[in-house]
Structure 1
Amino acid sequence: MIVYIAAAACAVGVVLIASRLVRRTPGVDDPDPDGPTTAHTGAMLSALFLLAFAIAVVVPWTTSDSARSNTYTESQAIAEAYWAASRLRPPDAQHVQRALRAYVDLVRGPEWKLMKDGELSHRGWTDLDRLRRDVIALRTGDDEEVKEARSTVLLHLGEISAARRQRAMDARTSPPAGLLIITVLTGIVVVLLPFLAGARPRGMTLVPLALMGSLLAAGAYLTIDISHVFTGALAVGPDAFTTLAADLQRIAGGG
């Protein structure tokens, strides 16, 4: 942030120096609100606002799509681990499947609320690590099918852990604060530019100005509202895990 402020201060200094140097050369004064200086400044400010606004919308949108896709990847890995566990010996299969169902209930319930604050529950990590240790410790004897089933379950547990780490990173991801600040500030300056240039809108001329101001305010609010993956208008919901919970119940019932 300090670097951004320093860059802005340098730009102001360049403008002041340039204005003093230009005074010594022949030219035409430009005091009019609709003069070339205001027109050039307005165009550049509008372009800057559109650039910042586009980045502030596209980046969260892309991140949200990626995070939503990752939730389905994680849920699919859980389903595959659940199916693979059914090939273990009955007591072991029941233990693993019960742990997977508990993990799904945790994720789509208490943990999803924590992700709105950019965090994942410690219990989720603990339960997943404990389940992996339990599977590693399973006694398979000389039964090749059970050995293969245990290896497959461990493989899918690794996929679940990887998807969970990605979900943790998605929960902490947001656009740079400076980008949102620039979007809001340029929007405000674009609205106030006619007044800063010396214009005094009256009557019906205030209508389009007010309309533009309201739309810019709505756009600026949108960039803040969608800046987090698991909150706001583009929030990723626990749909993948809610559907998975129903599927696991169906599988457990032999459906």
Structure 2
Amino acid sequence: MTVYLITAASGAGLVIIAALLFRRLRSATDDDLLTGATTSHTGSMLSALFLLAFAIAIVVPWTTTDAARLNTYTESQAIVESAWSGMDLPAAQSTRIRTELLDYAQFVRTQEWRLMADGKLSPDGWTRLEQLRREVAAFPAKGRDAKDAQAAVLDDIGDITSARRQRAMDAKASPPPGLMVVTLLTGLIVLLFPLLAGARPRGMSIVPLALMAALLGVGMYLCVDISRAFAGGLAVKPDAFTTAIAELQRIPGSG
């Protein structure tokens, strides 16, 4: 934030110095009109800066949210594949794996999802996966098919862990604070610029200004509201895990 303030102060200082120097030129003229070159140029540049910051503040969270949604399906699919991979293990072991995976999927959907709105994951989820990995690794697999199935299940659990790690990163991800500050600040300046330039709206001229203020307020609130992938208007829903739970329950021999 200090760098941003220094940069802004440097830019303002440069303008003041340039204005004082150019006033000494004979060809320079005073410009104090609302329709003058200074006001027109400044207004257009402020609008362009706001639109740039606003677009980035919308596109970045939108992209992050889409990636986070796809990753939840990757994790849920790995859960289902892990259950199917265990079908070649003895019945008791296969049932144990399906039960643990079903419990994990239900835990994520019903308990952990609420925490992700605050950018956190429950430590219990990591514990469940680590315990399942140790149990599968300790199975006394006999025969080539059983050993191959055991290795496949361990690989799938590794995929679940990797996807969960990515979900943890997605839950914490948010646009840079400086971007949100610039978006809010430029939006406020664009709103107040006519008044700062000396305009005094009267009568019906206040209506378009009020409409612009309302739309700017909605837009800036939207930027803040969608800044996290698992909270706000674009929040990722646990649909992937709901589907995975239904698929796990359809696997032969599952409860």
TM-score norm. by structure 1 comes to 0.97
Structure 1 residues 26-52: Cα deviation after superposition (integer angstroms, max 9, x where no partner): 211111112111110000000000000
Structure 1 residues 67-111: Cα deviation after superposition (integer angstroms, max 9, x where no partner): 000000111110000111122111111111111011001110111
CA–CA separation in structure 2 for the residues paired with 1:195 and 1:129 = 61
Determine whether 1:171 maps to 2:152: no
Structure 1 residues 172-229: Cα deviation after superposition (integer angstroms, max 9, x where no partner): 0000011011111101101111111111111111111111111111111111010000
Determine whether 1:19 maps to 2:16: no
Determine whether 1:203 maps to 2:200: no
Specify the SS of the correspondent of 2:29.
coil
**What percent of counterpart residues are identical?**
56
Determine whether 1:95 maps to 2:86: no
Specify the SS of the correspondent of 2:88.
coil
Specify the SS of the correspondent of 2:251.
helix
TM-score norm. by structure 2 comes to 0.97
Specify the SS of the correspondent of 1:86.
helix
Match of 1:150 in 2: 150
Match of 2:216 in 1: 216
CA–CA separation in structure 2 for the residues paired with 1:253 and 1:135 = 18
Match of 2:240 in 1: 240
CA–CA separation in structure 2 for the residues paired with 1:128 and 1:54 = 39
Amino acid at match of 1:146: A
Determine whether 1:226 maps to 2:226: yes
CA–CA separation in structure 2 for the residues paired with 1:85 and 1:119 = 31
Match of 2:249 in 1: 249
Specify the SS of the correspondent of 2:106.
helix
Q: Is the 8 A contact 2:99 2:254 kept in 1?
A: no
1:30-179 superposed matches below 5 A:
30-141=31-142, 143-179=143-179
Specify the SS of the correspondent of 1:94.
helix
Any gaps of 5 or more consecutive residues in structure 2? none
Deviation at 1:252, TM superposition (A): 4.2
Deviation at 1:250, TM superposition (A): 1.5
Specify the SS of the correspondent of 1:168.
helix
CA–CA separation in structure 2 for the residues paired with 1:253 and 1:206 = 70
Q: Is the 8 A contact 2:50 2:187 kept in 1?
A: yes
Could you list the structure 1 runs, at least 4 aligned residues long, displaced by more than 3 angstroms after superposition: 252-255
Amino acid at match of 2:183: T
When the two chains are superposed, the root-mean-square deviation of aligned CA atoms in Å is 1.2
Deviation at 1:249, TM superposition (A): 1.0
Amino acid at match of 2:144: E
Any gaps of 5 or more consecutive residues in structure 1? none
Q: Tell me the number of residue pairs that the alignment of Structure 1 and Structure 2 aligns.
A: 254
CA–CA separation in structure 1 for the residues paired with 2:254 and 2:87 = 11
Q: Is the 8 A contact 2:23 2:29 kept in 1?
A: no
